[in-house]
Every structure is written in C-alpha cells, then in structure tokens.
Amino acid sequence: MRELPEPGNVLCVSPFRYGGEVREAILRFKFRGRRDYAPWFGGAIARELLHRDLFHNAVLTPVPISAERMRERGYNQSLLLARAAARVLGIPYVDLLEKVSENQTQHLLNLEERRKNVRHVYRVKNGKAIQKEIIVLDDIVTTGYTLAECVETIQEAGLRVRCCAALASAEDHDREAGQEDEKRGKL
C-alpha cells in the first residue's frame, strides 16, 4: 500500500511487490500474450480490495493504452485485470478513460521525464452516468505518475476516485530492474 504522488494523492493498493517470479509472470502476461493469467491476477487484486474493504459502491476502470500499443499487443492488460477483478467482486467495470495523445513509453524515462510524459494524455470519455466512486486499476505502479494523472483527469471531470489498485508495486530498486528489462527488450 502506498500513496500516489501529487496531483493524484490517493491510496494505491497492490497484492504483490514487483520482483522475482511475480515480475516474470507479469512480463509473460503483458508482453508474451498470456491472457490466461488475467483471471488469477484479477482475483489477486480483488482479494486485496476485499481485504481492505475498498470495493463497496465502487466501479473499476482500467488505465488505457495507446492505439499503437493495442495494435502491437492486441489487448489492454489493465482492462483484462479490471474485468476479472470486477467479476470476483461483483461490481461493474467501466472503460472510462481514453488516451488522447501518444507519448513515450514510461519505462524508458527518468523520474522527472515520467511525470511530464503523462500530463494531459488521458480524458474521460463516458462518465456522466457514474454515481459511484471509482477505483483506477493498472498492472504495475512504479513512480505512480500514470495513475496520478488518471486520478486527476477523473476528478477534473467531476467524478470521485476512491483509490487505485495495481497488480504489483515496484520499490526503488525494482524500478531500476524494470527499466533495465525494457532497455534489453525483455518487455
């Protein structure tokens, strides 16, 4: 459990630390087409939200990916996680956000560049009917800037964010390992 950086500044929960076997499994899920991991991973996120009693009267929404990433990968891993977690929790998920501009991939950037890179790249596409609080879901939280930007975008649209959830959270040394994975082309 951690708090996101400003401007989001909400709680972010995750069942796993990003490292070791968890990291390898996430890489297979995210970059090697292992969509079949989604029910188990989504269930782990759901159990974390259940344990912390954060899911009542809420909806889940995934962090969107760019059109280019969707073409390359064929799926949004965060959307698969949101569907699976929502199913376990018995709550709805909504595809609330869309990415409106292409930006650099976060893993190749340093801390300050990451913060700037995600500014104003998302927008709410269909939030008028949502009366519940929103849980924003992503696969991995490293710096927290992507989730913080999503939270700010949702709040600026007049909607309420309860918290964020991610499958895994990277500690400082894990962030560096993740960046090295990306540079070597493992991801």
Domain boundaries, the chain: 2-183
Q: What is the pLDDT of residues 45-56, one digit of tens each?
A: 999 999 999 989
**Facing residues of 16 across strands?**
168
CA dist., res. 46 & res. 63, Å (int): 16
Classify domain 2-183 by CATH number.
Answer: 3.40.50
Contact assessment for residue 120 and residue 132, using Cβ atoms and an 8 Å cutoff: no
Residue-wise DSSP of 27-89: HHHHHS--GGGHHHHHHHHHHHHHHTT--TTEEEEEPP--HHHHHHHSS-HHHHHHHHHHHHH
pTM listed for this prediction = 0.83
Residue listed under structure tokens 């924003």: 136
CA dist., res. 50 & res. 53, Å (int): 5
Residue listed under structure tokens 């909504």: 94
CA dist., res. 73 & res. 18, Å (int): 21
Q: What is the pLDDT along the chain (187 residues), one digit of tens a residue?
A: 655 656 556 899 999 999 999 999 999 999 999 999 999 999 999 999 999 999 899 999 999 998 888 999 999 999 999 999 999 999 999 999 998 876 656 566 666 666 666 677 788 997 676 889 999 999 999 888 889 999 999 999 999 999 999 999 997 544 454 455 544 444 4
